[in-house]
Copies of this chain bind each other. A is one copy, B any other.
């Protein structure tokens, strides 16, 4: 398939490019510092566009079967997560392309009362500096859930989302996952495997799912 990765130089983006190439897909990588990405890669399956994501046009993405939004803003412009999602949705209304949005753990539910995990984050002084990111990723999901004529899917990692190779997967829908040791974490490699699985065999049309390291 032709898979476009927006934000290809970020933690998730890099893992996605590697996983997609390994599975034999054609990859279009979009990001700012693509020298980093292309270095060490000698794949005829990889094309790159160095461009501000907000300057992307429908023509740039016309050959894509699937577009993965792995864009990550700085915390002081966290609303850009929402703005890129709304831009991509407007661009692909009624189109055949599938759009994959990487969301945070904040929009997952947790506890016996199924409260949003972002509310726990709001009580945690350590995450105040980045709190607008989960808030805006929840706004992004809230927006996506109103969209009926685009083939979208959202994916959330667990609490501790970190670099690393894939492990066995633990999959869920809207509840925050913990493994048998009580740990809630997802490696970028695990995330990439879960997303490529979903791309190759869609299981979650117009909904969000979540993945953790088992």
Residues on A facing B (Cβ under 8 Å): 79, 82-83, 86-87, 89-90, 93, 138-139, 142-143, 146-149
Partner of A149, one of B79, B89, B142, B147: B79
Measured CA separation A89–B90 after assembly (Å): 13
Measured CA separation A86–B93 after assembly (Å): 14
A82 neighbours in B (Cβ, 8 Å): 146-147
Partner of A86, one of B86, B138, B142, B149: B86
Determine if B149 and A146 form an interchain contact, defined as CB atoms under 8 angstroms apart. Answer: no
Number of copies: 2
A83 neighbours in B (Cβ, 8 Å): 86, 89-90, 93
A90 neighbours in B (Cβ, 8 Å): 83, 86-87
Cβ-closest chain B residue relative to A142: B146
Measured CA separation A149–B143 after assembly (Å): 16
Starting from the known contacts A86-B89, A142-B146, 14 additional A-B residue pairs (CB-CB under 8 Å) come to: A79-B147, A79-B148, A82-B146, A82-B147, A83-B90, A83-B93, A86-B86, A86-B87, A86-B143, A87-B87, A87-B90, A138-B146, A139-B146, A142-B143
Partner of A143, one of B79, B87, B146: B146
A148 neighbours in B (Cβ, 8 Å): 79
Measured CA separation A90–B86 after assembly (Å): 9
A57 to chain B, nearest CB (A): 13
Cβ-closest chain B residue relative to A150: B79
A86 neighbours in B (Cβ, 8 Å): 83, 86-87, 89-90, 143
Cβ-closest chain B residue relative to A149: B79
A-B contact pairs, 25 of them (CB 8 A): A79-B93, A79-B147, A79-B148, A79-B149, A82-B146, A82-B147, A83-B86, A83-B89, A83-B90, A83-B93, A86-B86, A86-B87, A86-B89, A86-B90, A86-B143, A87-B87, A87-B90, A138-B146, A139-B146, A139-B147, A142-B142, A142-B143, A142-B146, A143-B143, A143-B146
